[in-house]
């Protein structure tokens, strides 16, 4: 953590320097570079938004939230690792620019305007972090505080959304005559719900509508909310709130980040805050405050970041591991964990019946559910956001690997009784969900590499062939392609156990076969 400096100091660009060829051209704008930092001249007005986002990150890290952690690790070449204690705890010294998830993930959420849950014990800076996000969006601290919804057991829908005007309630002849006084926070571009697990269940449903569908409804009146970045906080997300969080609401949360502990070596900074009496949120420099247009532009720019095909394929392979449950159905399409969930049958017991497979290798055996479409979409959006934050136009492997645990934290439920967790060294993963998901991803990638799928993806080849279109493909060619699919299925049925990643491949092959069948039928009818 750098030494305390003036709150108005913003890290000088470039915050993540990249090697660029030496140039002999001089920029006349350099005249205005000097000891006074944060001078907005014509040259700096157009500072790229990813750079501004990084400057915001470093300002928060330096002055806003004391989070001297670097748990999102990047390496630029070799790095050193040290091992301590009987548990062989490892300390890695990353050789690249690394980040604190507690600051970075909410900031990425700000950039893509999704829904972020901050969990952790009291006094860890969850609310402070959420308030800073509101200030970054251009609101004053007062506005953010007033707009913040504090979860409490007596909270009603009216408390959350607004009230019909009393005079109208008496005089109105029809519903449309009743005017609604909507709560101000609904119009904000950063929405903060403090201790959301203390909100009564009925009010949670109203919140779900706002979070999920971006509108509020009272007495047939609709209020359309603007796109916003959401921040929800909870002291304990494992049922420790006053009310059980409804599953649909939990599912709407896109990313979860845990407030890490306070490092007591930084008490001097607390002392400094006490002595100076300055709340960092009050002194956020203007240079890192985003306008509405900038936020919208930033979101669009994030989405233009490319996800290379090879990386997308790895994500597909990873995501395909979890939904399959061989004993959950007879017909292959129904052999899913969702089938067992709908039938209220314990997934663990079904997985336990599934004998003959290597339970350590079968990643699907570690989870109680599969990944939803929303989870996969969110993973890709946040991977793009992380790449964008790092100034890249393309997602890199490490971006995906680092962000997956935070997105899937609430989406992928571990089966804590799975044999995997009984293996030596794995019991700690029952508790540390971030590390567990990262381990899952690493194991999936190792299997992907072992199968050499980057170079030898037979389903991918068949898929590519189909994606070229059926225009002009003759009957003979179609038959050959169908035979190819059938041969592949024959080979698999002889040689392999049925693992999760094969499940989606089988269904894909069935899909392709069916499309060819229909096409063949059309061809023969036509001729």
Partner 1 sequence: MNTTISALHPVEAAKPISGALARLLEQNRTRYNARVGQTKKHFPRLDDAKVAAVLRELVQPLVELVDQYAADKTGSVTDVYFDLALELCGRGILGDSTRYPFIEFAWQTLLPSLTPLIVTAPRTIIGSITNAVYTLSCEPSANPMYWLTRLRQAAPLLSDVSTLLKMGQVTAWQTGMAHYRQPALTLCQSLSPALLKIAFGMSTQQLTMEQIVAIMAANPWYQPAVPDAYPQLRIVKCAGAFRGFGGVFMAPPTVYASGDTFVASDGTSTWLLHADAFGATFHRTQGMPRAESTASAFGFKVITGKVSKNQFTVDFPELETVSSIAANATTLAVTTPWSHTISLISVC
DSSP 335-398: -BHHHHHHTT--HHHHHHH--SS-TTT-GGGGBSS---HHHHHHHHHHHHHHHHHTT-SB--HH
Contact string 217-256 vs partner 1 (x = CB under 8 A): ----------------------------------------
When binding is defined by CB under 8 A, the residue of 1, 12, 40, 514 that contacts partner 1 is 40
* HEC assignment per residue over 10-35: CCCCCCCCCCCCCCCCCCHHHHHCCC
Q: What whole-number distance in Å separates Cα of residue 272 and Cα of residue 295? A: 33
Burial (0-12, 13-18, 19+ Cβ within 10 Å), 283: middle
Is the CB of 31 or the CB of 377 nearer to partner 1? 31
- Binding flag, residue 276, partner 1 (CB under 8 A): yes
- Binding flag, residue 1, partner 1 (CB under 8 A): no
- Binding flag, residue 291, partner 1 (CB under 8 A): no
- At closest approach, how far in Å is the CB of 275 from partner 1? 7
DSSP 437-463: HHHHHHHHHHHHHHTTTTT--HHHHHH
Is the CB of 32 or the CB of 334 nearer to partner 1? 32
- At closest approach, how far in Å is the CB of 110 from partner 1? 24
- At closest approach, how far in Å is the CB of 442 from partner 1? 41
The tokens of 273 are what? 């805050």
- Binding flag, residue 171, partner 1 (CB under 8 A): no
Contact 329, 336 (CB under 8 A): yes
- Binding flag, residue 290, partner 1 (CB under 8 A): no
Is the CB of 27 or the CB of 456 nearer to partner 1? 27
When binding is defined by CB under 8 A, the residue of 32, 334, 397, 522 that contacts partner 1 is 32
When binding is defined by CB under 8 A, the residue of 8, 152, 187, 360 that contacts partner 1 is 8
- Binding flag, residue 140, partner 1 (CB under 8 A): no
- Binding flag, residue 46, partner 1 (CB under 8 A): no
- Which residues, including other chains, have CB under 8 Å from residue 519's CB and lie 6 or more apart? 470, 473, 478
- At closest approach, how far in Å is the CB of 19 from partner 1? 14
Stretch that binds partner 1, among 19-27, 202-210, 416-424, 491-499 (CB under 8 A): 19-27
- Binding flag, residue 7, partner 1 (CB under 8 A): yes
Contact 63, 6 (CB under 8 A): no
When binding is defined by CB under 8 A, the residue of 1, 12, 41, 261 that contacts partner 1 is 41
- Binding flag, residue 26, partner 1 (CB under 8 A): yes
Stretch that binds partner 1, among 40-48, 50-58, 242-250, 369-377 (CB under 8 A): 40-48
Is the CB of 27 or the CB of 467 nearer to partner 1? 27
- Using alpha carbons only, how large is the chain's radius of gyration in Å? 26
Is the CB of 23 or the CB of 476 nearer to partner 1? 23
When binding is defined by CB under 8 A, the residue of 278, 343, 428, 431 that contacts partner 1 is 278
The CB-side HSE value for 344 (13 A sphere, CA atoms) comes to 0
The tokens of 89 are what? 């705890």
- Binding flag, residue 373, partner 1 (CB under 8 A): no
When binding is defined by CB under 8 A, the residue of 36, 78, 344, 373 that contacts partner 1 is 36
- At closest approach, how far in Å is the CB of 60 from partner 1? 17
Q: What whole-number distance in Å separates Cα of residue 345 and Cα of residue 328? A: 9
Burial (0-12, 13-18, 19+ Cβ within 10 Å), 360: middle
Contact 237, 244 (CB under 8 A): no
Select from 349, 352, 350 the least CA-distant residue to 336: 350
Q: Is the sign of the CA dihedral 82, 85, 89, 91 positive or negative?
A: negative
Q: What whole-number distance in Å separates Cα of residue 523 and Cα of residue 527? A: 6
Stretch that binds partner 1, among 272-280, 320-328, 421-429, 492-500 (CB under 8 A): 272-280
Tell me which residue has tokens 């939230």. 65
- Binding flag, residue 33, partner 1 (CB under 8 A): yes
Q: Which residues bind partner 1 (CB under 8 A)?
A: 3-8, 22, 24-36, 38-42, 272, 275-278
């Amino acid at each position: 953590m750098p030494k305390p400096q003036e709150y108005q100091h913003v890290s000088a660009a470039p915050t993540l320097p990249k090697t660029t060829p030496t140039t002999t051209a001089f920029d006349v704008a350099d005249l205005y570079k000097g000891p006074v930092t944060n001078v907005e001249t014509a040259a700096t007005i157009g500072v790229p938004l990813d750079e501004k986002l990084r400057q915001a990150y470093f300002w928060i890290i330096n002055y806003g939230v004391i989070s001297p952690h670097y748990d999102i690790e990047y390496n630029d070449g070799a790095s050193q690792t040290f091992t301590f204690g009987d548990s062989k705890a490892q300390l890695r010294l990353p050789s690249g620019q690394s980040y604190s998830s507690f600051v970075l993930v909410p900031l990425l959420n700000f950039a893509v305007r999704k829904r972020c849950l901050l969990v952790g014990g009291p006094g860890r800076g969850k609310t402070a972090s959420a308030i800073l996000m509101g200030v970054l969006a251009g609101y004053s601290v007062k506005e953010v505080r007033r707009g913040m919804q504090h979860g409490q057991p007596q909270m009603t829908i009216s408390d959350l959304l607004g009230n019909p005007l009393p005079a109208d309630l008496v005089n109105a002849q029809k519903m449309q005559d009743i005017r609604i006084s909507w709560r101000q926070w609904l119009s904000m571009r950063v929405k903060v719900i403090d201790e959301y697990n203390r909100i009564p269940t009925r009010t949670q449903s109203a919140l779900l509508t706002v979070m999920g569908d971006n509108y509020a409804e009272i007495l047939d009146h609709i209020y359309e909310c603007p796109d916003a970045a959401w921040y929800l906080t909870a002291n304990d997300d494992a049922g420790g709130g006053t009310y059980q969080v409804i599953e649909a609401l939990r599912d709407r949360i896109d990313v979860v980040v845990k407030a890490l502990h306070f490092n007591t070596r930084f008490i001097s900074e607390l002392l400094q805050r006490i002595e100076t009496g300055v709340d960092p949120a009050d002194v956020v420099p203007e240079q890192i405050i985003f306008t509405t247009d900038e936020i919208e532009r930033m979101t669009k720019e994030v989405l233009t970041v490319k996800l290379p095909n090879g990386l997308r394929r790895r994500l597909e392979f990873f995501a395909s591991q979890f939904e399959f449950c061989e004993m959950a159905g007879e017909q292959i399409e129904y052999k899913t964990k969702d089938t067992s969930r709908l039938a209220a049958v314990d997934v663990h017991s079904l997985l336990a019946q599934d004998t003959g497979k290597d339970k350590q290798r079968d990643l699907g055996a570690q989870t109680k559910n599969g990944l939803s479409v929303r989870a996969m979409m969110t993973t890709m959006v946040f991977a793009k956001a992380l790449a964008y934050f790092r100034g890249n136009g393309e997602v890199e492997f490490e971006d995906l690997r680092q962000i997956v645990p935070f997105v899937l934290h609430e989406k992928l439920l571990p089966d804590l009784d799975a044999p995997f967790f009984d293996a030596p060294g794995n019991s700690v993963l029952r508790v540390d969900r971030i590390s567990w998901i990262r381990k899952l991803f690493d194991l999936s990638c190792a299997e992907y590499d072992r199968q050499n799928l980057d170079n030898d993806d037979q389903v991918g080849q068949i898929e590519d062939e189909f994606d070229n279109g059926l225009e002009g493909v003759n009957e003979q060619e179609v038959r050959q392609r169908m035979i190819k699919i059938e041969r592949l299925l024959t080979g698999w049925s002889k040689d392999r156990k049925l693992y999760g990643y094969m499940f989606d491949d089988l269904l894909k092959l069935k899909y392709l076969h069916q499309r060819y069948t229909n096409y063949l039928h059309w061809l023969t009818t036509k001729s």
